[in-house]
């Protein structure tokens, strides 16, 4: 007898799913035993559902395919929600399997009953339900497909307990779809014409244009005199020595507009018109200078990288663009700063590293300094919901066990999902987490002034401060089985960072700066 749960799990494994980030409950027990019988899927227990979805996001960005998550009813799904929002913005494919009460049990409105579909829809690009055991495989295959269409994204598949435990489950087969649409030759031709006519054109990239051949093509366009920017927050960017380093559009609107000043044409490749992260009184929301036309080369659901390659050919761009040169900064010293962390990473970070960036104010100087580090991938906070760093790193490490993963996290951001440390320890994942212990929501101290909300009095100041009591990240990590150290001096950080990067397994540095 094959249960509905077994058909679902086996179908996903047949499709190619190799990891499941899970936080199960009673209604998912048959799913748990189905996973027990499926050696092709690595089951990873997470102590909070936001860890599970953040991990599936990091997994998808590195593995290029969806992981499964296992979430307990509507409450598990809502706990998972902020990182589902981020994943939707990153267009990360993932198959979220959400248990539901048995179909016949719903009418009794038991305590955990909720409207799971309604909760799922805002952050899912597809939702489905296993109405009965026999469609377990079919729905799983549909979910697999749906998560990888239109650029990709999270899908929600509801599995009622009786559909899970009933027999008669049937598996289904599915091919892997094309995740992005092919470039539109007409748009390429039209943009090529506009580029030739423009005085100061620029291109804004994301999607497949920030990795592989797409990034190479972007460099060729830069060499042809087109200024290339990335979105401020990109799903994944290949970086380091020997790779093209496009300029990152500034976070604050006035910075972005200054960078774009004088541009008369903005080509959008794998993204949409740039907008300020937040609105501010009297400041523009749309970050396109006056007199600049925005034209669409490829939307986020199209293969922007391939479109850039066609465009580079169409305008006769050089065969190769500029690339970063290897740059090793001297050993830093003095009171530790985020820039010192960046300098140390150029010195010690091994080739092939993955950086999961939830560093908030600390992230930018490190990003800037590591342009000439060994080759690495940078994963960004795409949706602005802090608390993604450690989960993202966790998932990336499961996707690429042979690569070193470095998590940059603010202290405020890290507290949201600190439970990820436990899973890192349990799974012995090769992640170095660097927590920037500035003991405040520092970004909000900046934003308080920028929004013109007035000088903060004692209550307002206190609402942005994390210094009373200071959080002891060394103890917090050790409590969850992760080796940790605190650094206040740059020279200490440089030594300890080098040592931890040379170790295998999870480590954490509380960087007091």
**Shortest Cβ 118–its own copies spacing (Å):** 5
Nearer to its own copies, 255 or 479 (CB): 479
Indicate the burial class of 110 (C-beta count within 10 angstroms; 0-12, 13-18, 19 or more).
exposed
Distance CA 185, CA 309 (A): 11
Footprint on residues 82-141 left by its own copies (CB under 8 A): 82, 84-85, 89, 101-102, 104-105, 108-112, 114-115, 118-119, 121-123
Is 412 a residue that touches its own copies (CB under 8 A)?
Answer: yes
Nearer to its own copies, 222 or 427 (CB): 427
Nearer to its own copies, 52 or 311 (CB): 52
Nearer to its own copies, 123 or 147 (CB): 123
Distance CA 340, CA 329 (A): 9
Q: Tell me which of 4, 12, 18, 50 binds its own copies, using CB under 8 A.
A: 50
Q: Tell me which of 2, 43, 134, 375 binds its own copies, using CB under 8 A.
A: 43
**Shortest Cβ 437–its own copies spacing (Å):** 12
Helix residue ranges, H only, 147-252: 161-165, 185-197, 212-223
CA-nearest of 294, 273, 266, 270 to 181 is 270
Nearer to its own copies, 329 or 441 (CB): 441
Q: Tell me which of 159, 161, 341, 511 binds its own copies, using CB under 8 A.
A: 161
**Shortest Cβ 418–its own copies spacing (Å):** 7
Nearer to its own copies, 111 or 334 (CB): 111
Footprint on residues 214-233 left by its own copies (CB under 8 A): 233
**Shortest Cβ 309–its own copies spacing (Å):** 27
Nearer to its own copies, 33 or 181 (CB): 33
Question: By rule CB under 8 A, what string of x and - marks binding of each residue 333-372 to its own copies?
Answer: ----------------------------------------
Distance CA 433, CA 508 (A): 5
**Shortest Cβ 491–its own copies spacing (Å):** 26
Is the Cβ–Cβ distance between 314 and 189 less than 8 Å? yes
- Is residue 338 within a helix (H) or strand (E), and if so which, with residue range? helix 338-348
CA-nearest of 163, 156, 162 to 136 is 163
**Shortest Cβ 172–its own copies spacing (Å):** 23
Is 64 a residue that touches its own copies (CB under 8 A)?
Answer: no
Nearer to its own copies, 221 or 437 (CB): 437
Footprint on residues 232-251 left by its own copies (CB under 8 A): 233
- Tokens encoding 252: 């604050």
Distance CA 330, CA 35 (A): 49
Distance CA 338, CA 406 (A): 14
Q: Tell me which of 132, 194, 426, 489 binds its own copies, using CB under 8 A.
A: 426
Which DSSP state fits 470? P
- Taking the alpha carbons at both ends of the chain, their separation in whole angstroms is 59
CA-nearest of 67, 77, 80 to 99 is 77
Nearer to its own copies, 166 or 374 (CB): 166
Return the range that interacts with its own copies (CB under 8 A); candidates 25-33, 136-144, 236-244, 335-343.
25-33
**Shortest Cβ 378–its own copies spacing (Å):** 16
* CA dist 109 → 25, 75, 118, 193 (Å): 18, 14, 16, 62
**Shortest Cβ 82–its own copies spacing (Å):** 4
**Shortest Cβ 160–its own copies spacing (Å):** 9
DSSP letter for each residue of 85-112: HHHHHHT--EEEEEEE--GGGGGG--TT
Q: Tell me which of 13, 14, 18, 30 binds its own copies, using CB under 8 A.
A: 30
Distance CA 128, CA 124 (A): 10
Applying CB under 8 A, what is the total number of residues that bind its own copies? 101
Pairing of strands 376-379, 237-239: antiparallel
Footprint on residues 251-310 left by its own copies (CB under 8 A): 272-273, 275-279, 281, 285-286
Taken as a whole, the chain contains a residue count of 513
Footprint on residues 437-466 left by its own copies (CB under 8 A): 441, 443-444, 447-448, 451-454, 456-460, 462-464, 466
Nearer to its own copies, 196 or 428 (CB): 428
Is 416 a residue that touches its own copies (CB under 8 A)?
Answer: yes
Footprint on residues 369-388 left by its own copies (CB under 8 A): 382-385, 387
CA angle 224, 236, 90 (to 5 degrees): 115
Cα-atom radius of gyration of the chain, to the nearest Å?
Answer: 23
Q: Tell me which of 78, 134, 324, 375 binds its own copies, using CB under 8 A.
A: 78
Nearer to its own copies, 334 or 454 (CB): 454
Footprint on residues 466-495 left by its own copies (CB under 8 A): 466, 468-476, 478-481
- Tokens encoding 302: 């199209």
**Shortest Cβ 369–its own copies spacing (Å):** 24
* CA dist 478 → 49, 359, 360, 475 (Å): 22, 21, 24, 5
CA-nearest of 180, 242, 176 to 206 is 180
Is 186 a residue that touches its own copies (CB under 8 A)?
Answer: no
Distance CA 440, CA 470 (A): 9
Cis ω on the peptide bond leading into residue 47 (within 30° of 0)? no
């Amino acid at each position: 007898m094959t249960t509905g749960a077994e058909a679902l799990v086996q179908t996903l494994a047949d499709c190619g799913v190799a990891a499941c980030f899970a936080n199960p409950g009673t209604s998912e027990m048959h799913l748990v035993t189905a996973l027990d019988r499926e050696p092709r899927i690595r089951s990873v227990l997470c102590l909070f559902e936001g860890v599970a979805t953040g991990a599936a996001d990091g997994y998808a960005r590195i593995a290029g395919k969806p992981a499964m998550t296992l979430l307990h009813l509507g409450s598990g799904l809502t706990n998972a929600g902020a990182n589902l929002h981020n994943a939707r913005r990153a267009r990360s494919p993932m198959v979220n399997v959400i248990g539901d009460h048995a179909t016949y049990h719903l009418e009794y409105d038991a305590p955990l009953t909720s409207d799971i579909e309604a909760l799922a829809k805002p952050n899912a690009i597809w939702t489905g339900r296993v109405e009965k055991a026999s469609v377990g495989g079919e729905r799983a295959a549909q979910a697999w497909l749906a998560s990888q269409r239109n650029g990709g994204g999270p899908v929600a598949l509801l599995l009622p307990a009786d559909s899970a435990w009933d027999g008669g489950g049937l598996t289904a087969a599915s091919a892997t779809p094309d995740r992005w649409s092919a470039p539109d030759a007409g748009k390429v031709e039209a943009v090529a014409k506009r580029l030739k006519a423009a005085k100061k054109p620029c291109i804004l990239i994301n999607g497949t244009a920030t990795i592989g051949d797409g990034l190479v093509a972007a460099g060729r366009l830069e060499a042809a005199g087109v200024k290339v920017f990335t979105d401020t927050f990109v799903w994944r960017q290949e970086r380091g020595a020997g790779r093209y380093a496009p300029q990152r559009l500034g976070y604050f609107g006035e910075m972005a507009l200054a960078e774009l000043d004088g541009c008369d044409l903005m080509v959008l490749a794998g993204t949409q018109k740039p907008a300020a992260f937040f609105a501010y009184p009297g400041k523009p929301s749309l970050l396109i200078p006056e007199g600049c036309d925005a034209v669409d080369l490829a939307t986020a659901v199209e293969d922007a990288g391939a479109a850039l390659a066609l465009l580079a050919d169409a305008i006769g761009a050089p065969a190769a663009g500029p690339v970063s040169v290897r740059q090793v900064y001297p050993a830093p010293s003095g009171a530790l700063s985020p820039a010192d962390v960046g300098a140390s990473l150029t010195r010690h970070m091994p080739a092939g590293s993955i950086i999961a960036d939830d560093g908030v104010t600390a992230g930018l100087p490190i990003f800037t300094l590591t342009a000439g580090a060994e080759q690495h991938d940078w994963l960004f906070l795409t949706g602005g919901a802090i608390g993604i760093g450690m989960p993202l790193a966790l998932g990336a490490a499961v996707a690429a066990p042979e690569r070193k993963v470095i998590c940059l996290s603010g202290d405020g951001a890290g507290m949201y999902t600190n439970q990820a440390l436990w899973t890192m320890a349990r799974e012995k994942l090769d992640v170095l987490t660097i927590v920037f212990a500035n003991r405040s929501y520092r970004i909000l101290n900046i934003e308080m002034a920028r929004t013109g909300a007035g000088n903060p009095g004692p209550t307002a100041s206190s609402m942005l401060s994390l210094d009373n009591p200071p959080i002891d990240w060394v103890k917090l990590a050790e409590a969850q089985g992760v080796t940790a150290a605190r650094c206040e001096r740059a020279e200490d950080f440089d030594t300890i960072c080098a040592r931890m990067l040379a170790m295998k397994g999870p480590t954490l540095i509380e960087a007091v700066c």
